[in-house]
Amino acid sequence: IENEDRINIKKFYSIVKENLDVYGGIGDLEIVSKEYFYAMENIGSYDIIYNEKYYSDLSEVVNSEKTNKTYFHMSMNNLLSYFRMRQGFNSSSASFGWSKHSEDTLVLNIENPHQFLDGFSEDIYGSEYLTYDLHDYKNIIMNLKDENSSSNSYWTDFLVSPLANREYEYNLNVIAKDGEIAEEKIQKMDRNKEGLPSGDYLVSISEKIEPYNSQNYMGNIYLLVDEKSSNGLENFAQFCKDTGFATVIGRHTKGDPLDGLGYPRLSIFPNSGLIFQYKLGKIVDSSGEYITNNGVTPDVLVGDEEIVLNAALRYLGEEPVATQQ
């Protein structure tokens, strides 16, 4: 950024927007913070694409003086509020546990479920983890905290299949840009696509979820979400709404679900060092509303100041817990 002491915020914003528009044919674009880049890189979630005309080592650019100056002056001039910038996320270690709230209700608490369940080989409903008989309880509340997962397998394989008493079908409707990168990805994945009047594609992705070591649970299941719920948890919430597997209680989710077309791509504006990511597609629900950016709307909405778990318990006619979620 030249003349950083006399930076014109509106001009800077318009320049960035113009650059983003140049990339508009490849997907949903967002400026990301350096902290977010490092966190996502550490968990291997970026399919990094770079322009060798400007640089050959992405880490050198991220740590360059111009990138540091750009982000410093964006912060000092309150420019971050102009962009839908991805900040850092909760990367704490995973935790898991069942708790008995009442004679009718069990609560399943999982922090960062993808870390705990992806690649897991045990049955979380089995006697090693659950000392209660599920069939003695009318309600199961799933209190999950997922802000950064890279797949849906943790909930399809370890939360749904063991409780399912029938086969479910998980459907994704993705709006993908008509561009080289999206086209190549769709062909490689052998996905069906349908042309839209806008020139984009509608890509339909379907997956069957079958009972596996099923508990054949016939009670009520509730899934809790809020504005921090992201990635795979948003897909899980939409699945629950579409199929009736669980009632979704809480607030609108973050609006950053997994689009089924792979990890976000990453690039950098070569002159400023601004980092941005883009996804190849946006998810829409059965009514055509965007889940990407807008989030999933729960079946039961909870107020901004309410603790979602307590709101769910009150919905069931039970006493709330004294502690935070």
For residue 79, what pLDDT band results from cuts at 50, 70 and 90? low
User: What sign for the dihedral angle of Cα 86, 24, 60, 3?
Assistant: negative
For residue 53, what pLDDT band results from cuts at 50, 70 and 90? very low
Residue 183, phi then psi, degrees to nearest 5: -60, -45
| 57 compared with 174, residue with greater pLDDT | 174
Contact 245, 221 (CB under 8 A): yes
| 24 compared with 283, residue with greater pLDDT | 283
Query: Taking 60 as the threshold, does the pLDDT of residue 222 lie above it?
Result: yes
Q: Model pTM? A: 0.78
* Cβ atoms within 10 Å, residue 80: 14
Give helix then strand counts, H and E, for the chain.
Answer: 9, 14
For range 212-228, the mean pLDDT:
93
For range 126-137, the mean pLDDT:
79
For range 253-282, the mean pLDDT:
78
Q: Strand, helix or coil at 139?
A: strand
Q: Which residues contact 129 (CB under 8 A, 6 or more apart)?
A: 96, 98, 122, 123
How much is the mean pLDDT over the chain? Answer: 78
Domains and CATH numbers, the chain: 4-82 (no CATH), 95-167+210-257+295-315 (3.90.226.10)
| 172 compared with 178, residue with greater pLDDT | 172
Looking at mean pLDDT, say which of 101-115, 150-164, 227-241 comes out highest: 227-241
Contact 94, 109 (CB under 8 A): no
Closest by CA position to 229, among listed 243, 249, 245: 249
For residue 54, what pLDDT band results from cuts at 50, 70 and 90? very low
